[in-house]
Structure 1
Amino acid sequence: MTEIAMLSHTGSVEALTVGQVAQTFGVTVRTLHHYDAVGLLRPTERTRAGYRLYTSEDLQRLSSIVIYRRLGFALEEIGELLEADGAEVVDHLRRQRDLVRDRLAQMTELVDAIEHALEAEMTDQPATTEDLKALFGDGYNEEYQAEAQQRWGDTDKWEQSRQRQATMTKEDWARIKAETEAFEADLAAAVRDGVPTEGDVAATLAERHRASIERHYDCDHAFQVCLAQMYLADPRFTAHYEDIEPGTAQWLHDAIVANAARHTG
């Protein structure tokens, strides 16, 4: 039974002392003394030693006081309500109901604002390993990550990559994934259409490839050529590009080399 329900079902009980009332109904002795002092709740009986005793009627009055206080009424208003007739009580309660509804609406708006702020704060958090697994699926390989760190962990580019990726959010990675998929679709189309690797279309694709690398670490044209060579030398990279479109690994390599020659003279 809730506290208010308990207060509403006091029934006929023996008179209780201040301490017993405080313990039973969850109010402080000081509060009961204050209610007595202001005339809001004066215990009906006293012991021979002069201690206050609360009768069943007193406890029923206390239950009303507690409920009204929960509704936000001031003690003066509660005193008026306790002395009012039925029509006045209904009028007071209707006004208070409207006030409570207004507060609920304000609190709902506040909760929504907090939710939005929390969502924005969580959005700004760096992506976790679990986020990346959910986003990339089989494309995220922890073993490859460990191998890459072992091979290049002592290089400046690895440190650059670590620092930049440490601040990337799940939304950042989702955008990178979408851009990568768009790049690979355009790359496959160029290979299928037999676009020459020395032309402007190939140069544009090579620059898009280099820009995607530079999200993680600085990549000049010479270093990009080194990556292109790895795409042919490492079977895993070759297989990735060949799955996009047969001949893509060699085409991308040649396009990167030709574009680098353009920029280095």
Structure 2
Amino acid sequence: MKTTSDTPDGDGLIVGQAARHLDVTVRALHHWDDIGLARPSLRTAAGYRLYTADDLERLHRVVVYRELGLGLDRIRAVLDDPTADVPGALRAQRAQVDERIERLQRLGTGLDRMIDAHERGLLLSVEQQAAILGPEWNPDWPAEARRRYGHTAQWQQYAERSAARGPEEWRAVADAMADLDRALGDAMDAGVAPGSPEANRLVERHRDLFAAYFPLTRQMQVCLGRMFEADPAYAAHYDGIRAGLAAWFRRLVDADARAHGVDPDTATWR
């Protein structure tokens, strides 16, 4: 390799200058030199790499192809193999870029839905809510729930589920809950006793179905049972199915909790 004076002049650029000129790192230039992809033609008397105009032109092409996503081995072939199919390599890279763009667009759509779900909770129009969730549903409830529970882990879990759920999935959730409501009314009519196997199965079914919103522990279910009985809107819903159903269902939940070592009188939301 040729050498020149210690002070670079018009013969070329030392590595730091070349890195700044190309907007790459010195480490990248060292690596490309080490693997023989783009080596400086000169060195100073002190041994410093010195890149000539031709070297810089090759480096510029390396940078361009690297920014287009080609790997270093492919770049070497494009630059050094006179038989290389450069348009073919670029078309293949273009196809990969198109695939990445499509993936990123899907990711962007998913992020938009996740943001929307965290802010709104339910990603359904007012008309869809009425059609799917029934005439008793109040479209103001999701906003109220966010004001009350938006800081909790359960709201975050609910938002994650909501973001991945469309109208048909919500319809399936609503239908499953309606089936449970009918089963509870029938069980109350049949005199099913709290703590009985059939009662416990209903409580377990409720907890499983509630996972459509967020995982529900027995302690949390006890707290919900209290709310179903005490909150006028919830009590009206359950008592509209059968008179006294809200209080009866709470007794079922409490009995199941006791059987699993949870004291309903001291249960907290955890």
1:128 aligned to which of 103, 124, 130: 124
Structure 1 residue 182: Cα displacement: 1.2
Amino acid at match of 2:163: A
Cα gap change, 1:193/1:137 in structure 2, threshold over 3 Å: closer, same or farther?
A: closer
State the distance in 2 between where 1:172 and 1:127 align: 11
Q: Which amino acid aligns with 2:217?
A: D
The CA distance in 1 between the partners of 2:194 and 2:134, in whole Å, is 32
Aligned to 1:227: 224
2:201 matches 1:204: yes
Give the Å deviation of 1:134. 2.3
Q: CA deviation at 1:127?
A: 5.6
Give the whole-Å Cα distance in 1 for the aligned partners of 2:123 and 2:234: 25
Kindly state the Cα deviation for residue 242 of structure 1 after the two structures are TM-superposed: 0.2
**Structure-2-length-normalised TM-score:** 0.49
SS class of match (1:138): coil
8 Å contact from structure 1 (residues 225, 253) kept in 2: yes
Q: Is 1:187 equivalent to 2:184 in the alignment?
A: yes
- Residue type matched to 2:180 in 1? F
Q: Does 1:241 align with 2:214?
A: no
What is residue 32 of structure 1 aligned with on the other side?
A: none
Residue aligning to 1:137: 134
Instruction: Considering fraction of residues, name the structure with more helix.
Output: 1
Distance in 2, Cα, partners of 1:162 & 1:221: 22
TM-score by length of 1: 0.50
Q: How far, CA to CA, are the matches of 1:177 and 1:204 in structure 2?
A: 19
How many residue pairs match? The answer is 141
Please give the residue correspondences for 1:1-265 in structure 2 after superposition, counting only pairs within 5 Å: 128-129=124-125, 130-264=127-261
Deviations 1:142-189 (A, max 9, x none): 222211111111111011101111111222111112211111111001
The structure whose Rg is larger is 1
Query: 1:141: how far off?
Result: 1.5
Runs of 4 or more, structure 1, over 6 Å off, are none
Q: Give distance in 2, aligned partners of 1:137 and 1:190.
A: 23
Unpaired stretches in structure 2, ≥5 consecutive residues: 1-112, 114-121, 263-270
- The one-letter code matched in structure 2 to 1:199 is S
For residues 203-224 of structure 1, give each alpha carbon's deviation from its aligned partner in whole angstroms, at most 9, with x where no partner exists. Answer: 0000111112111111110010
Measured in 1, the distance between the counterparts of 2:242 and 2:153 equals 33
Q: How many percent of aligned residue pairs carry the same amino acid?
A: 31
The 3-state SS of whatever aligns with 1:194 is coil
DSSP 3-state at the match of 2:165: coil
Offset of 1:137 from its aligned partner? 3.5
In structure 1, C-alpha distance between the alignment counterparts of 2:223 and 2:186, rounded to whole Å: 24
Letter in 1 for 2:196: G
1:30-56 deviation line (CA, Å, top 9, x unaligned): xxxxxxxxxxxxxxxxxxxxxxxxxxx
- The separation in 2 between residues aligned to 1:202 and 1:134, in whole angstroms, is 31
Go from structure 1 to structure 2 and tell me whether the alpha carbon gap of 1:178 and 1:226 turns closer, same or farther (over 3 Å shift).
same
1:40-73 deviation per Cα after TM superposition (whole angstroms, max 9, x unaligned): xxxxxxxxxxxxxxxxxxxxxxxxxxxxxxxxxx
